[in-house]
Structure formats: structure tokens, C-alpha cells
Amino acid sequence: MRIVILGAPGSGKGTQAAFIKETYQIAHISTGDLLRAHVRNGTPLGLKAKSVMEAGQLVSDELVLGMLADRLAADDTRNGFILDGYPRNLIQVAALDELLASVGQPLDIAVKLTVPFDIIVGRCEIRFKAEGRKDDNPDVVRERLRIYSDQTEPVVAAYRAAGRLVEIDGVGQVAEITQRIQDTLKPYA
């Protein structure tokens, strides 16, 4: 199974992707996690990405695509993958389609978690206190939500228009949302 999970920052993508990974034994590829590891390890990519991420902006398409292509080449993607945090804009949608077509592994479906922005802001505040991620600071969250509306909502619209999207209510208990996703994904397993 090859899927992307879409949703605003704090919509629960990472949490739900971890369950999907276990259920279907596929790779969970989070571009945010990969970038944070580069920052932690002080790699050349990490040095370029750090200030951009802390400001809540998007890292350059070219850098993220290169990182993603390397990750998709790893053995653990043979059963499929769930992409979390990519694509973030329309350029990345086209780049992903091209990359996956070149390896004969097209996407099955895009899953979008829908959560109202006021709930998102509250969740990011809780995560800021728990994990201390600089980009969960309320000012930066506002910028990330602005970028989501400007650049990532069109991604959702494009998958919807192409009939490649399922939308799931992302409000409720974690287990309830997991169940909704699993019911939706059954036909693709």
C-alpha cells in the first residue's frame, strides 16, 4: 500500500501514520522527522534547513525531494509506505508523481485528516509544552497554518479533483480516528 497522509500541522498525521505503519507493515516516512534528524546531526542539509524550519517556512523543494528520493530507495519501502508531511505544495505533488512513476510505484490514495484550526492551535500548544518543538510556539504555529492554507490546501484540492482523496474527520479519540482510517483503507490493502 502506498499512501500519503495530509492535514494541517497538529492534525494527528504523525500519530495516525505510526498506527498505519504497524497495521500494514509499511514504511512511515515523515519528511519533518527526517529533516529534524538532519538538524540534530548537523549535516549540510540540516544546517540549511534549521532556521527555515524554526520560522515555520517550507524547506526548498529541491532539498526535500532529494532527501525523499534517497529514503524511498531503502529496502523497507518494498511493502509500501505512508508519506507524512509530503507533498506540501503543488510542485511537490508533480515531483512525487514523477518520482513514483519512475520506479513503477504509483500512489494508491491520499488520506486527509480534517481538524478545525482552533483545535489545531490547542493541540500544538500542548505539544509545545510536552516536546518543546520550537515551531510549535504559538506565533510560529500561526505562520505554519498560513502556509498550510496557501500552499497545502491546493494540494488537497488537486487530489480531490483527481478522485484520489479520502477525507476523514480528525476530531475525537485517537483510537476512534485510527478505526475510521482503517475502515477507509481496507479496500486498498
Per CB under 6 A, residues contacting ligand AMP are: 9, 31-32, 35, 52-53, 56-59, 64, 85-86, 88, 92, 135, 144
CB atoms within 10 A of CB 172: 13
Least Å distance, CB 85 to ligand AMP, is 3
Give the strand order in the sheet containing 27-30. Answer: 27-30, 81-84, 2-6, 109-114, 165-169
Q: Residue 16 or residue 92: which is nearer to ligand AMP going by CB? A: 92
Q: Which residues contact 27 (CB under 8 A, 6 or more apart)?
A: 21, 74, 76, 77, 79, 80, 81, 82
Q: Residue 70 or residue 183: which is nearer to ligand AMP going by CB? A: 70
Q: Residue 30 or residue 178: which is nearer to ligand AMP going by CB? A: 30
Least Å distance, CB 185 to ligand AMP, is 21
Q: How far apart are CA 171 and CA 157, in angstroms?
A: 21
Least Å distance, CB 186 to ligand AMP, is 26
- DSSP string computed for 43-108: -HHHHHHHHHHHTTPPPPHHHHHHHHHHHHTSGGGTT-EEEES---SHHHHHHHHHHHHHTT----
Least Å distance, CB 25 to ligand AMP, is 23
Least Å distance, CB 165 to ligand AMP, is 18
Least Å distance, CB 55 to ligand AMP, is 8
Q: Residue 81 or residue 135: which is nearer to ligand AMP going by CB? A: 135
Residue nearest ligand AMP, CB atom distance: 32
Q: How far apart are CA 75 and CA 89, in angstroms?
A: 27
CA distance readout (Å), 21 to 16, 60, 130: 9, 27, 24
Q: Residue 35 or residue 111: which is nearer to ligand AMP going by CB? A: 35
Q: Residue 54 or residue 76: which is nearer to ligand AMP going by CB? A: 54
